[in-house]
């Protein structure tokens, strides 16, 4: 096995971990849809849906896109903060835009 | 020493510098110099591109939310242009018009179960994408081709579903240039559909490369980089599905 393959085998998840991530994503999506049909309104509807959406986001970015493993293995702090800083900046900009338009809650 | 020998020595020295720069001589790939962040320049370029894409889709989602809020506010405020749109809808699809008046929104048009199936298909395509990358990393080229083909097929099914959904909406009287909701909705989901289509073209290119024997273990990172794009498109749909379809 080449160096490259050895690196990939250690740095990235095994096949069963990919399947596990997919099953969790599948279940979360099913729960999301079911939740939207259960008749909840307002905060009790929106907050759980946003939490599940965020978990799915983290699972795909961290697991499938290898962000968790790359950040851990390759010059972790700088790599992580490059994306964390951008993400925080983006969220602040969008919050400012919503505030500027007085977006209703 | 001949000129060719001098060039070979220089190339070897450059290779050694690249390995030292990565900080881990056991982790280097053959497909690009490493950046100071510890990943190859090509992979870093894709991440930077995806960063700019985050801003694009963030802006489109924000526009959709603001337009939707403004649309309903204008209906309640009696904006004549918006009311004229509703009147037109009354002529084209009276049942939907009544539904909109009762529900106070255009969301009854959404077929959540159909869109849920599309979401499952796109999530499944992300799984087949990573399995393809894993297969090519382990020099299992046949499996890699199967997973690449499966990913492209699932992406195509998703696009077919989106075309069907747009056709239904069009027949129900929701046009791109008819109201704020139509413009914002079609722009957001249409941009996403274009991204999926571009991804399918990338996957088809990889598949052809693989069939010609040009996608070997040393170029596994090429598959990973296309995979990054594909997973990003999947993530955008995760956001769109919840924010546009599930949250009223």
Would B185 be classed as within a structural domain? Answer: yes
CATH classification at residue B146: 1.20.120.80
Classify residue A61 by its DSSP letter. Answer: I
Instruction: Reply yes or no on whether the pLDDT at A68 is more than 80.
Output: no
Count the neighbouring beta carbons within 10 Å of the beta carbon of residue B203. Answer: 29
Question: With contacts defined as CB-CB under 8 Å, which chain A residues touch B104?
Answer: none
The predicted pLDDT at position B117 comes to: 94
pLDDT of residue A65: 86
pLDDT tens track for A84-94: 777 787 778 77
- What distance in Å separates residue A92's CA from the closest CA in chain B? 12
B27 → chain A, closest CA residue: A7
DSSP secondary structure of A13-35: --HHHHHHHHHHHHHHHHHHHHH
Give the pLDDT confidence of A39-64 residue by residue, as tens digits: 887 888 889 999 999 999 989 988 88
Report yes or no: B159 and B196 within 8 Å, Cβ to Cβ: yes
**Within a domain: B10:** no
Q: List, for chain B, all residue ranges whose pLDDT scores fall below the cut of 50.
A: 1, 3-4, 6-7, 10-31, 104-105
Residue B22 included in any domain: no
Nearest to A74 by CA among A12, A2, A1: A12
Instruction: Map out the domains of chain A as residue ranges.
Output: 3-72, 75-105
- Check residue B19 and give its pLDDT: 41
**In Å, how far is A69's CA from the nearest CA of chain B?**
12
Of A49, A70, A97, the CB nearest to B62: A97
Position B21 in a domain = no
Q: Which of B58, B139, B224 sits opposite A90 (nearest CB)?
A: B58
Number of folded domains in chain B?
A: 1
Interface subset of B 33-92, CB within 8 angstroms of A: 36-39, 47, 51, 54-55, 58, 62, 65-66, 69, 73
Q: Output b/e per residue, B2-19; b: 16+ Cβ within 10 A.
A: eeeeeeeeeeeeeeeeeb
CB contact B219 to A (< 8 Å): no
Residue A37 has pLDDT above 70, yes or no: yes
**Which chain A residue shows the shortest CA-CA distance from B129?**
A64
Q: Note whether A25 contacts B123, CB cutoff 8 Å.
A: yes
Asked whether residue B16 is domain-assigned, the answer is no
In this prediction, residue B141 carries a pLDDT of 92
The answer to whether residue B241 sits within a structural domain is: yes
pLDDT at A91: 78
- Residue B70's domain comprises 31-246
Contact B130 A18 (CB under 8 A): yes
Q: Does B127 touch chain A (CB under 8 A)?
A: yes
If pLDDT is split at 50, 70 and 90, which confidence band does A9 have? very low
CA distance A47 to A43: 6
The tokens describing B206, both together, are: 């990889």
Closest-CA distance, B81 to chain A, in angstroms, reads 21
Query: What's the confidence (pLDDT) of residue B24?
Result: 39
Q: Tell the burial category of A8 from Cβ atoms under 10 Å away from its Cβ (0-12, 13-18, 19+).
A: buried
Report if residue B154 sits inside a domain: yes
Flag if B239 and A7 touch (Cβ within 8 Å). no
Asked if B217 and B172 touch (Cβ cutoff 8 Å), the reply is no
Taking an 8 Å cut-off on Cβ atoms, the answer to whether A65 and B231 are in contact is: yes
Is B78 inside any structural domain?
yes
């Amino acid at each position: 096995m080449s160096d490259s393959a050895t690196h990939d085998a250690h740095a990235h998840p095994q096949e069963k971990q990919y399947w596990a991530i997919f099953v969790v994503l599948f279940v979360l999506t099913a729960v999301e849809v079911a939740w939207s049909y259960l008749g909840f309104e307002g905060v009790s509807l929106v907050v759980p849906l946003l939490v599940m959406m965020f978990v799915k986001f983290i699972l795909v970015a961290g697991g499938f896109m290898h962000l968790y493993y790359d950040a851990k293995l390759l010059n972790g702090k700088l790599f992580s903060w490059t994306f964390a800083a951008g993400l925080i900046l983006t969220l602040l900009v969008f919050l400012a835009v919503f505030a500027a338009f007085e977006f209703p809650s | 020493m001949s000129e060719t020998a001098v060039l070979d020595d220089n190339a070897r020295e450059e290779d050694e510098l690249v390995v030292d720069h990565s900080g881990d001589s056991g982790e280097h790939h053959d497909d690009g110099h490493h950046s100071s962040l510890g990943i190859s320049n090509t992979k870093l370029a894709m991440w930077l591109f995806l960063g700019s894409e985050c801003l694009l889709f963030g802006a489109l989602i924000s526009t959709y939310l603001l337009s939707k809020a403004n649309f309903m506010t204008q209906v309640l405020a009696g904006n004549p242009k918006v009311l004229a749109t509703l009147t037109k809808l009354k002529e084209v699809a009276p049942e939907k018009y009544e539904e909109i008046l009762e529900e106070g929104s255009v969301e009854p048009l959404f077929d959540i179960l159909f869109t849920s199936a599309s979401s499952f298909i796109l999530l499944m395509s992300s799984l087949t994408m990573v399995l393809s990358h894993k297969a090519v990393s382990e020099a299992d080229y046949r499996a890699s081709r199967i997973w690449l083909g499966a990913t492209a097929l699932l992406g195509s099914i998703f696009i077919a579903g989106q075309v069907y959904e747009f056709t239904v909406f069009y027949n129900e009287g929701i046009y791109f240039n008819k109201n704020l909701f139509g413009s914002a909705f079609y722009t957001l989901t249409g941009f996403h559909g274009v991204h999926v289509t571009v991804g399918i073209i990338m996957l088809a290119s990889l598949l052809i490369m693989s069939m010609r024997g040009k996608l070997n273990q040393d170029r596994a990172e090429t598959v990973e980089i296309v995979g990054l794009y594909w997973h990003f498109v999947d993530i955008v749909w995760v956001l769109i599905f919840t924010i546009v379809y599930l949250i009223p």
